[in-house]
Structure 1
């Protein structure tokens, strides 16, 4: 196991902040509404296993993942409780999902056929949640096909092959306050839920709210909210507010050790293509992170970095393993921390600032941080600690 002092770069993950975010979200949605902690894509780059354990400890009633392989890995690591997995493809490990006590999303008849066949092979009923396409146009069953799917699912339930545990959908534009599709999708969801319940479905949970809806649309909360990016202390959209507006704190801080400081003359080109040329004699600092580590090349010449307590900007192009900042004549020692993003309360940039620099969203900034960057966990409670040397605890 590496010690934190030896790391060329680190993504520090504050599990105390994550637990605080879970508690803030639970308080915001109120009694009677459960919180799902979405830990897909390795918990948005934060580390699925430590995050899942911390979220559970803070009162998240459900976990959510995209692929069955993500879900089965968590089960193999000993993570129990209710877990919804929603992105299935033909031939996926349905039987293993049933045996691992997953709740599995079904969006069409093909999926229902596969899960019922797996249930018969396993000798036990599968827990399924029927997903409705209320207007997002991705996964989910169209309203025109809903009666057929509901009827087939009820027949499978009567045969003891499945238990329908949920009805759900997903917003397209909840991060755009006032967008007309929001009310439209809510209306369609209510209609599809009503149809299913009148047909005989008795769901444990009905849910459509993602992070932005959980934060701003109480009428969408139903029985459960699925919180992804908000769990990690990042606002789903600057339009709906900053994290502090919702009592949230960013969980990840990305930093690296300055690898080299050198003096260069005026007119010196920097990095590929010489898109940056020094305007005067100056000092350059080399930061050992690049696009192979998830630093967006689109932020070349724009990405903000805090070095020696001073805000700097990426000078020239981000390369595969490194980028350069113009230090303006300052000479911090090699090994000085360069902070790319964090909560922002110590002067460092935020993930949203990097998203703005790269013309993307903050979700992508944290999720894309690569495996060469060790996750260093702070604020961990003893009961959450994993016997896993692939992570570092500070």
Structure 2
């Protein structure tokens, strides 16, 4: 049987070899003190949760992290067992499937008493203790328990543990400004976290893991490593922020390349409007190339007139507005044929733009660029086998 050729219209090529190498680089950075949790929320930041989870585990990650319980349960349903990896999910809402999480052996984050009550009730019904991790709000101001409420949450969790209803497996928090080197909130949050850890452990909590470090902290703040680090965007070879450096500065390689085939090339006269609103008008006679990707595919409309694309051997800019399904580039006098490759972003090996370049063009962050690439764009996996 012959392999199905990759789609020509558009595709996101996902280099699993690069992902494995990134995980190994991150493991080496935190060894021997900390384990690595591979964060695969939001469909692995747009890269494909299951293939990326499996590749990360092959490279030595021992935990997986998701935002929602449904993401975590999908990993278990796909065959990633408790023996393969612990899975932590942290964004729960009232009425979420706690019982299913218990049965699947998930580690479930608890940030408040309402969540503890729901998971305890589910554990009673399941007749099996729930694995829970208490999350502290050390200053980010999103999810997590405030320091003032921490004693009550810890006390109630220990009470449930003494009744055999839960096992408190982790204590953790999240940093607000780890991607801004030297920001005063980093030291302040670290101090609060240590204080809250000390309180919980003196009260009797014996966690399997304590963790605080996201990608930025994993790359730059060894004092935040504790027992486990949680790299997300770094695992996919994207820098947490331009201020910190490029992926290459940390020995990381971008995993996703976004490509399309030029759908049409045509000659137009000077003064010809391009795309909605005619925000771009040709200065002279020129060739226009049509790229069959648009904001329905995740191409940011905010990058209209600015988004960079490698066509032929030159980087061009989006001419006029990005539409729902397509955008245009001005090819000038270059001889480009329909079917030629348009490379929106990749590792940069060929001089092509990177996800960071698109982020700059759209006034956003590279996280959003890779995560927003929609389901209409097929993922094509490269280097699926390790070695």
TM-score normalised by the chain length of structure 2: 0.98
**Partner of 2:115: helix, strand, or coil?**
helix
Unaligned runs of 5+ in 1: 384-394
Aligned to 1:317: 321
Quote how far apart the aligned CAs of 1:83 are.
0.5
Q: Deviation per CA, 1:202-226: give whole Å up to 9, x if none.
A: 0010001000000000000000000
Unaligned runs of 5+ in 2: none
Aligned to 1:147: 151
Q: Deviation per CA, 1:178-205: give whole Å up to 9, x if none.
A: 1000000000000000000000000010
Q: Does 1:105 align with 2:106?
A: no
Contact 1:263 1:329 in 2 (8 A): no
Distance 2:275 2:345 in 1: 22
Q: Does 1:30 align with 2:34?
A: no
Aligned to 1:346: 350
Contact 1:261 1:331 in 2 (8 A): no
1:248 pairs with one of 252, 277, 284: 252
Aligned to 2:208: 204
Distance 1:178 1:317 in 2: 39
Distance 1:187 1:164 in 2: 22
Q: Does 1:238 align with 2:242?
A: yes
Q: Deviation per CA, 1:143-172: give whole Å up to 9, x if none.
A: 000000000000000000000000000000
**Partner of 2:175: helix, strand, or coil?**
coil
Aligned to 2:55: 54
- Greater shift, 26-35 or 298-307, is seen at 26-35
Q: Deviation per CA, 1:215-260: give whole Å up to 9, x if none.
A: 0000000000000000000000111111011110000000000000
Contact 2:17 2:386 in 1 (8 A): no
Q: Does 1:92 align with 2:96?
A: yes
Aligned to 1:124: 128
Q: Deviation per CA, 1:299-336: give whole Å up to 9, x if none.
A: 00000000012110000000000000000121211111
Alignment size in residue pairs: 383
Q: Equivalent residues in 2 for 1:1-394 (5 A)? A: 3-80=4-81, 81-381=85-385
Distance 1:153 1:6 in 2: 51
Q: Deviation per CA, 1:238-289: give whole Å up to 9, x if none.
A: 1111101111000000000000000000000000000000011100000000
Quote how far apart the aligned CAs of 1:382 are.
7.2
RMSD across aligned positions (CA): 1.1
